[in-house]
Amino acid sequence: MIPSSFPEKEEIARLSARMLLEIGAVHFNAQKPFTLASGLPSPTYIDCRRLISFPRIRSVLMDFLAVTVMREAGLEAFTNIAGGETAGIPFAALVAERLALPMTYVRKKPKGYGRNARIEGVMKEGDRVLLVEDLTTDGGSKVSFVEAIRETGAACAHTAVIFYYGIFPETIETLDSHGISLHHLCTWWDVLKEARESGAFDDATLREVESFLSDPRAWQALRMK
């Protein structure tokens, strides 16, 4: 069913942050920082993949994502919904169902045999594709997926994610430079605010997280020495 009426963006951000906290997708640890894919330390980690195991919250967030895309990009902006391998695939399928559109997915690299394809499913030249993923940090993987989509002759100028870090200014610059608009539900700042209001973590941990979010590169540099 295509969603049509939902809360304003600020309320969607608050509720999305609350639901991610509720299912245990948010991890804060100031004493033993997590190691990100980049190899850099972080007191924060989010696991949006947990959503697939929580059907009620999953359903609400997918409704939120669908309506966010329609509000910000247009009701008839897309003809195809593509998920990024692997985390984006289930969410792309759920959004495609809500928007009554075909669904495809994009591999991180050609599979190495058969057609050696990166695109699975039916994507046609001239399609207007929305790339769906679970989250974005610096935008790099989104550019790679979009380039693969564009190689088919389809157009892709939008990506939608549940969670956007919202702390690295180069992310939007990177996406803008490749002609990609980002749509998201919430950021670390929304999660931090909701964590404070709900008492989900102790004050010392939240202060350290805020220090990281305010200047992540400086925070990481101090702990890499």
Q: Tell me the pLDDT tens digit for each residue of 143-199.
A: 999 999 999 999 999 999 999 999 998 999 999 999 999 999 999 999 999 999 999
Within 13 Å and on the Cβ side, how many CA atoms surround 42?
A: 19
Q: Tell me the pLDDT tens digit for each residue of 24-58.
A: 999 999 889 998 877 889 999 999 999 999 999 99
CA distance 150 to 18: 36
Quote the tokens at residue 19: 């639901």
Q: What is the pLDDT of residue 38?
A: 73
DSSP per position, 106-121: E-SS--SSTT--SEES
Are 193 and 17 in contact, with CB atoms under 8 Å apart? yes
41 Cα distance to chain centroid: 20
How many CB atoms within 10 Å of residue 32?
A: 7
- Sketch out the chain's domains with CATH numbers: 9-212 (3.40.50.2020)
Q: What is the pLDDT of residue 30?
A: 85
DSSP per position, 107-175: -SS--SSTT--SEES---TT-EEEEEEEEESSSHHHHHHHHHHHTTT-EEEEEEEEEE----THHHHHH
pLDDT surpasses 90 at 15: yes
Quote the tokens at residue 175: 């996406």
Q: Tell me the pLDDT tens digit for each residue of 105-136.
A: 999 988 766 566 899 999 999 999 999 999 99
pTM here?
0.94
Q: Tell me the pLDDT tens digit for each residue of 58-107.
A: 999 999 999 999 999 999 999 999 999 999 999 999 999 999 999 999 99
